Chain A
Amino acid sequence: MDLPLPEILSAGHLYALTGAVLVGLGLYAFITLRHPLRQLLAVNVVGAGIFLILGSLGRGPEATDPLPQALVITGIVVAVALTAFGAAIIVRLAETRAAAKPADDDNARPEP
């Protein structure tokens, strides 16, 4: 089924705009969310948005620019590396804090 949609904007621009909104959403979440793990997630969303802008603006009528694609792949790998490190810091910090003060069991919930 392909509806005769007016070509108001090219696919490239559509995804680029989506990327822009993702950046905004992620940024808002980063500011308003207090928990570092959630902030880490937000940062990943921002990153995804940036990659989307980068890639989709290289979307030509016939082909998609390979350079932005390569840059995006590099970016994704760098992002995962940093995410792993960030997650590790968050966990270790929580552990040291828990070790510092005797853990009270009432706020420890069972795994769902």
Chain B
Amino acid sequence: MTLAFDLILCLMILGTAGIALFVRDALAAIAFFIAFGNLLGLAWLSLDAVNVAMAEIAIGAGVTGVLLILARARLLALGDDAASAATPLWLRLGALAACAGFVVLLAAAVLSIPPESGLDRVVAPLMPGLGIENRVTGVLLAFRAYDTLLETFVLLGALVAVWSLAPAGAWPGRPADPGMADAPMRRVAGTFSQLLLPVALVMAAYLVWAGSDLPGGAFQAGTVLAGGLFVAAMGGAIGLPSSDRPLLRAALVLGPAVFLAVGLAGVAAGGFLVYPEGMAKTLIVTIEYTLALSIGVTLALLVAGTPVPGAAGPNPDGKG
């Protein structure tokens, strides 16, 4: 891709970001934020970082976007339209000056650093030992698996934190039903999701498998799964589960638990998170499959939000 393309893309990114930040209406803002996320995805592609591109589009744009839309809808129901209110001029001017100065400083610092892929030379020779091709996956699940392990617990913790906000009467309970208001739409989504859910499952499975060699991996796969689950819930194909269902809890902790267990088992092979000779790929793929499942369920529930009163009671069908 030529520099012209990059230039235009950057301008569009900045433009969409500007609108997303400063347009008065919240819904428009979020819409442009999603567009912004997708453009960023393109930028990552152009930087030949396909893994990041997928993550950015799926999580950065997709999940975050849906999160914001739902939050905004709930605020609106309370009579808060989340419009950008006017702030005093002196504040804006001061902030403008400060931020402009900061950007100049930051830009100067950035330009003082020549872009180069220094560590690629360190990573490349290590890959054969893992038996996988995708270097990013290698970094995520092997060289810096410790980061990833903690990160999966951050994700899990976020869900616990969201649950902790449940109002007094609403525990154990379900999140508010995201189902569409009018019946025909709901039916459409329902039938659509009945098709989509299995597709999403297959796609997720493929992404994990591919992730070891081609771009992809647990996080991207989990996001796809989450998307499938959530659309299904919107269509009423499945009901959101009550937060205390053992099966649900199991699905949530499975990935992190397996990851942790593998890490501790590694002690036998010489230390925490050490993969025994030749077993690296098997272990990595196992971790990734379980992680993908847990991440999918976690993300879906994160999007669904805090349990609400009255949504408690027996759960009709399939787990989350």
Chain A positions within 8 Å of B, measured between CB atoms, are 1-3, 5, 7, 9-29, 31-35, 37-38, 40-42, 44-45, 48, 51-53, 55-67, 69-74, 76-85, 87-92, 94-96, 98, 103-105, 107-109, 111-112
Contact = CB atoms under 8 A, between A and B. Distances in A.
A23 B33 contact: no
Chain B interface helix/strand/loop/mixed: helix
B29 A41 contact: yes
Contacts, number: 302
A69 B51 contact: yes
A44 to B, nearest CB: 6
Interface stretch (B55-63, B229-237, B262-270, B273-281): B55-63
A95 B78 contact: yes
Nearest to A73: B55
Interface residues of B, number: 101
Contacts of B138: 66
A4 to B, nearest CB: 10
Nearest to A106: B79
Contacts of B249: none
Contacts of B7: 5, 14
A34 B91 CA distance: 12
B272 to A, nearest CB: 19
A101 to B, nearest CB: 11
Given A32-B87, A35-B85, A91-B71, A77 B51 contact: no
B115 A16 contact: yes
Contacts of A19: 110
Interface in B102-154: 102-103, 106-107, 110-111, 113, 115-120, 123, 135-136, 138-140, 143-144, 147-148, 151, 154
